[in-house]
Amino acid sequence: MGRQSAQRYLGYFPEVACGAEAVEALLAAIDDAVENIDFVFDTTKKTRDYVATLRSAASELRRDNCRWTLWISLSKASPAKKNEDAAVPVRAAAALYDRHADFQADVRRYIEGVFAIAGDTLARFQDLKTARGLVDYPDMEQLVLHALDEPAVAERLREDLQLLLVDEFQDTNPMQLALFMKMARFAGEAIFVGDVKQAIFGFRGSDPELVGETLEALVARGSRLDVLDRSWRSRPSLVRYLNAVFREAFQRDGMPPALVELSPQRPETHDSPAVVRWTFPPKSSIAKQADALALAISELEQSGHQVSDPETGEPRSVSFGDIAVLASTNNHVRAIAKALRQRRVPMKMTLAGLLETPEVCLARACLRRLNDPSDTLATAEIRALGSCEEPEVWLADRLRWLAAEEEHRSWAETGDPIVSRIAHLRSQTITQSPVEIVARVLNYVGIRPIVTAWGPDAITAAQRQRNLDAFLHLSVEYENHCASQHEAATHTGFLFWLENPTSPDLDLQPVMTGGDAVHVLTYHRAKGLEWPVVVATDLHYKWWSRIWDVRVESASDKLDLDNPLEGRIIRFYPNVFGKNLNGVPVLDNLMSSEEATRAAAEANAEGRRLAYVGMTRARDTIIIAVPESGPRTGAWIEDFDSDHLLPTG
């Protein structure tokens, strides 16, 4: 498949027309340009920077490992207008990169190499699993798929399997579809339950187009299609709004209104608006947008906005726990969570950086001092964090201690209560496990009351305590890790392990699991959940092209239900152009191709489905946050825009 993928990709490139001589021609053009550029009449910074770029490029071009992106940059670079003529030959010589024999050979070698490495990795991984008697989830799928071809298995299933029920069918991947189709042959009845409007996990391998073709093929074979057309979640005014927006949106995908529109079943219990528009200043940074959202959420909670209580159905004022903020990426989720925390708004969201929080830094410093009394850096951190001393204070004390020629290991053991307790604890922890030691440090040394006193409010203090609990749990994880590796768990080992934990998930600050707090999560994670109020953000952002995704495609134009895996191939196109996205002929050729158009259409369709999933999480109110100036061209919101989308009042 690597050779086939490389051949298809290079089909968008011009034929090879040059080789090593093109390098010499480009160097000659650069030398001429540097010599001919007139600095007497052109003293602009643009021209000076251009000449510096040419000189640096000439040096790199003479090396064997010159970057091809350098050629692309030179094909578009220019000085100020007065010396434009000198740059024309450089651009012309550099523009030959796409027909350079070495460039196309490098592209081919890279694509085929990636496939070869992937294949070798899978083979080695399989050998490792076999040697250790292990199977993973893909193994189980393949083993079951092969087992279903065994006559004894097939006979037993025909006798025993009365009903095959598959939920969330829209998220089925090709391997699972093959399993379901085989099992359906043996079942007395097969029921597939799903909503094609909620197929949003293409990046995990699901194939919405394949699922759609499957449904059409099943109906053609005589299967019955039942539509669940009632909404028990959202209030009537919100259902009517969502019907109007997505009836138009999904018509672009050929979906009839009967598969989109829902009939509301909940009564209207209050007159708060079902749709609200929030705006923030145009061209503001992600941090400023997040801060504007945090402020608006704080004001919303104080406004008396009405929602229906999910338990009683009675109207009441909105609380923080009724609100969910949806973002497109985890980075944006973290930015919003940070802004909410800075605005003192309680929120439910895991943030990275547990090991860098001040309370955990203090705990780690105490553990280091307990492990090594000569660790003066740990002692300094304890005095700075635990006693809130300024550097000038503890540094002066350290210098006085050294001048008095005291025992260097005993610094601060008599003057600092935390260090004193650590010294007293040392003899008691010699035979204790890391979990016991961490617990003693957190409780006996007094870290918990110290970090609570830091303030500035009860919400932050409670989060600090949760972070310390998570740190204690890390010692449990460390001991479990040692047990799995048949290694001894030690105090010193735990400190080293913290420098490089086995998983980035271990560095997450714990989420607030109870209480009145705003939920912050991605659109994908919101699936299957619901809240009275949903704030939809990031609709003004533009998705990246899917042409660079690793894609699984079918070589057949027609789906074979009995063998849905047949003819499926992997296609991989690397982005060899770096940040040079404009004015690149090969890239223009690729992006205007039928293949890129199809990839863009698939991405736009998934964008509509993702917006549908997010906006239908709301029970009472959907809030759409967009810039005052409106979205830029190609923004996500254009995938499902309609006259009904944004309220104007």
Distance, in Å, from the CA atom of 545 to the CA atom of 575, rounded to the nearest integer, reads 11
Beta carbons of 635 and 548 less than 8 angstroms apart? no
Distance, in Å, from the CA atom of 186 to the CA atom of 191, rounded to the nearest integer, reads 13
What integer pLDDT is reported at residue 577 of this predicted model? 84
Q: What one-character-per-residue DSSP string does 73-89 give?
A: HHTT----GGGHHHHHH
Question: Which DSSP helix (H) or strand (E) runs through 137?
Answer: helix 137-147
What integer pLDDT is reported at residue 455 of this predicted model? 78
Say whether both 55 and 154 belong to one domain.
no
What integer pLDDT is reported at residue 54 of this predicted model? 94
Say whether both 59 and 163 belong to one domain.
no
Q: Name residue 279's beta-bridge partners.
A: 626
Domain stops at, among 99, 121, 146: 99
Q: How many CB atoms lie within 10 A of CB 190?
A: 18
CATH assignment of the domain containing 401: 1.10.486.10
Domain stops at, among 197, 226, 255: 226
- Which candidate, 242, 259, 228, places its Cα nearest to that of 618? 242
First to last CA, the chain: 55
> What is the token pair recorded at 547?
């042409």
pTM above 0.85, yes or no: no
H helices of 200-344, where? 208-220, 236-251, 286-302, 330-342
Say whether both 492 and 426 belong to one domain.
yes
How far does CA 96 lie from the centroid of its chain? Answer: 37
> What is the token pair recorded at 7?
């051949």
> What is the token pair recorded at 456?
């500035």
Q: Has residue 149 been placed in a domain?
A: yes
- Residue 71: which domain range? 17-99
Say whether both 201 and 58 belong to one domain.
no
Say whether both 76 and 158 belong to one domain.
no
Q: Has residue 484 been placed in a domain?
A: yes
What integer pLDDT is reported at residue 514 of this predicted model? 58
- Which candidate, 578, 82, 614, 622, places its Cα nearest to that of 300? 622
What integer pLDDT is reported at residue 332 of this predicted model? 92
> What is the token pair recorded at 179?
């399993």
What integer pLDDT is reported at residue 190 of this predicted model? 93
Q: Has residue 434 been placed in a domain?
A: yes
Q: Has residue 243 been placed in a domain?
A: no
Say whether both 469 and 399 belong to one domain.
yes
Q: Has residue 572 been placed in a domain?
A: no
Distance, in Å, from the CA atom of 474 to the CA atom of 149, rounded to the nearest integer, reads 46
Say whether both 368 and 495 belong to one domain.
yes
Q: Write the CB contacts of 315 (distance below 8 Å, at least 6 apart in sequence).
A: 269, 270, 306, 307, 308, 309
Q: Phi, psi (5° rounding) for residue 267? A: -80, 160
Domain stops at, among 443, 477, 509: 509
Say whether both 150 and 39 belong to one domain.
no
Q: Has residue 621 been placed in a domain?
A: no
Say whether both 37 and 91 belong to one domain.
yes
What integer pLDDT is reported at residue 513 of this predicted model? 53
Q: Has residue 514 been placed in a domain?
A: no
Q: How many CB atoms lie within 10 A of CB 283?
A: 9
Say whether both 55 and 162 belong to one domain.
no
Beta carbons of 304 and 317 less than 8 angstroms apart? yes
CATH assignment of the domain containing 221: 3.40.50.300
Say whether both 376 and 455 belong to one domain.
yes
What integer pLDDT is reported at residue 460 of this predicted model? 80
Q: Write the CB contacts of 516 (distance below 8 Å, at least 6 apart in sequence).
A: 319, 320, 321, 346
Q: Name residue 582's beta-bridge partners.
A: none
Scan for tokens 């299609």, then name that residue: 225
**Residue 387 Cα distances to 233, 251, 308, 368, 371, angstroms:** 53, 65, 49, 17, 20
Angle, helices 491-499 vs 434-443, to 10°: value is: 80
Say whether both 480 and 362 belong to one domain.
yes
Q: Phi, psi (5° rounding) for residue 351? A: -110, 145
Q: Has residue 536 been placed in a domain?
A: no
**Chunked in runs of 10, what are the mean pLDDT values of the chain (649 residues)?**
91 92 93 86 87 92 88 90 89 92 94 95 94 90 93 93 92 88 92 89 75 84 90 96 93 91 95 93 87 95 95 94 93 90 82 87 94 90 88 86 78 85 88 94 91 83 90 94 90 91 77 76 92 94 82 76 81 85 85 89 89 96 89 81 77
Tally of domains in the chain: 3
Count each helix (H run) and each strand (E run) in the chain, helices first. 23, 16
Beta carbons of 366 and 440 less than 8 angstroms apart? no
